[in-house]
Amino acid sequence: MAVRIFVGESMSFRTIGYLDEALEQTSWDSETGGADKMKAIDEYAVEASMSKVWGSEALFATADDAVQAFGGAGFSAEYPAEKIYRDCRINRIFEGTNEINRLLIAGTFLKRCGGTEGHPLAAAGTATLQLPEDSLLATVALAKARALKVIALAQAEHGPKILDNQEAAAHISNLLLELYAMESAVVRAGKMAASGHRWAALARDMAEVYAQEAWNRVQSGARMLAGELASGEALDTLLAELLAMHAPVPVPLSTLRNRIAQALIDQGRYPIA
Ligand SMILES: Cc1cc2nc3c(=O)[nH]c(=O)nc-3n(C[C@H](O)[C@H](O)[C@H](O)COP(=O)(O)OP(=O)(O)OC[C@H]3O[C@@H](n4cnc5c(N)ncnc54)[C@H](O)[C@@H]3O)c2cc1C
């Protein structure tokens, strides 16, 4: 639950940071101020959708964990978990259902990358990957390379028509969601370490747990997307290429989780302000 809170905050702070920066470049004093502000906000539509989808699903999973942790009392309206669980269900439906947001994430991303020579998507998977020294940043880079290789293939072979296959579009969105989530958490943890934040070690543990788990979801998501794109020999080749790509070394997540849990027990709450 704490890991989800940390990652969700990281995505929201990052998205809001992008919007703040973009809006600072515009002014109501300009004749085109209103339109400039709308354009600045629109620029980050994908990031906003990813924060909404990821955040609402993480909230629901966290509420579900709370019900479970309360046991039978979690199901009873006399205890708070039941109300939280019921109330938070709406977040996946309003403000654009998560299904429609997923279509928007994949569609907008592909539209913006399509046909742009030199875009990272064009080189994904073929470029020699220079791995960062930091193991968490390396995990993010490996996940990106793997996901973007298959998304680039979808783009190259099907163009925007890939969105007609909603299963494929959902895989693309889920891959992008995982990349944005893991990168946001890892970069934030790195910034906390660099600034000597008192909870930097806890943040790194939480980012590492998420990055390791997300990497596995990226791996299976890339394979499922591959299955939507190719068959026979072409699929065999693609899967073999994915298999040959570097993978991060697994770490004992139980050790990290125990440290995270102990920090929360010691503080009696999620401690990062
Ligand atoms: C408590 C509450 C408060 C609300 N507040 C507001 C508000 O303040 N302002 C406002 O404008 N609206 C508000 N709404 C409305 C809300 O935004 C809509 O309920 C929501 O957008 C879903 O639309 P719908 O109910 O018509 O479902 P539908 O559009 O009929 O969708 C039903 C299901 O089908 C899925 N679906 C639909 N099309 C596709 C597709 N092409 N591909 C895949 N799946 C698809 C949807 O994701 C959903 O799961 C509120 C709703 C509730 C319940």
Q: What is the Cα–Cα distance from 219 to 72, expressed in whole angstroms?
A: 36
pLDDT of residue 157: 87
pLDDT of residue 128: 60
How remote is the CA of residue 173 from the centroid of ligand 1, in Å? 19
Which ligand 1 atom lies nearest to the CA of residue 97? 47
The DSSP symbol for 129 reads P
CA 198 to chain centre: 25
Can you spell out the DSSP letters for 50-78?
A: HHHHHHHHHHHHHHHHHHHHHTHHHHSTT
Which ligand 1 atom lies nearest to the CA of residue 103? 42
How remote is the CA of residue 163 from the centroid of ligand 1, in Å? 20
pLDDT of residue 118: 42
* 167 close to ligand 1 (CB < 6 Angstrom): no
Is 140 in contact with 186 (CB distance < 8 Å)?
Answer: yes
CA 161 to chain centre: 24
**What pTM does this model have?**
0.94
How remote is the CA of residue 102 from the centroid of ligand 1, in Å? 14
- 146 burial (CB, 10 Å; 0-12 / 13-18 / 19+) is buried
How remote is the CA of residue 57 from the centroid of ligand 1, in Å? 16
State which of 49, 53, 87, 93 you would mutate to test the pocket of ligand 1, scoring each by most atoms of that ligand within 8 A of its C-beta: 93
* 94 close to ligand 1 (CB < 6 Angstrom): yes
Q: Whose CA is nearest to atom 1 of ligand 1?
A: 90
| Residue 31 neighbours by CB distance under 10 Å | 7
- 273 burial (CB, 10 Å; 0-12 / 13-18 / 19+) is exposed
CA 79 to chain centre: 32
| Amino acid residing at 82 | E
3-state secondary structure of 138: helix
Cα Rg of the chain (Å, integer): 20
How remote is the CA of residue 95 from the centroid of ligand 1, in Å? 8
| Residue 271 neighbours by CB distance under 10 Å | 13
* 86 close to ligand 1 (CB < 6 Angstrom): no
Domains and CATH numbers, the chain: 2-267 (1.20.140.10)
pLDDT of residue 208: 98
Q: What is the Cα–Cα distance from 76 to 34, expressed in whole angstroms?
A: 49
pLDDT of residue 116: 44
pLDDT in tens, the chain (273 residues): 999 999 999 999 999 999 999 999 999 999 999 999 999 999 999 999 999 999 999 999 999 999 999 999 999 999 999 999 999 999 999 999 999 999 999 999 998 876 444 444 444 444 567 889 999 999 999 999 999 999 999 998 888 899 999 999 999 999 999 999 999 999 999 999 999 999 999 999 999 999 999 999 999 999 999 999 999 999 999 999 999 999 999 999 999 999 999 999 999 999 998
pLDDT of residue 126: 44
Q: What is the Cα–Cα distance from 73 to 82, expressed in whole angstroms?
A: 8
pLDDT of residue 114: 64
Q: What is the Cα–Cα distance from 110 to 171, expressed in whole angstroms?
A: 13
pLDDT of residue 119: 45
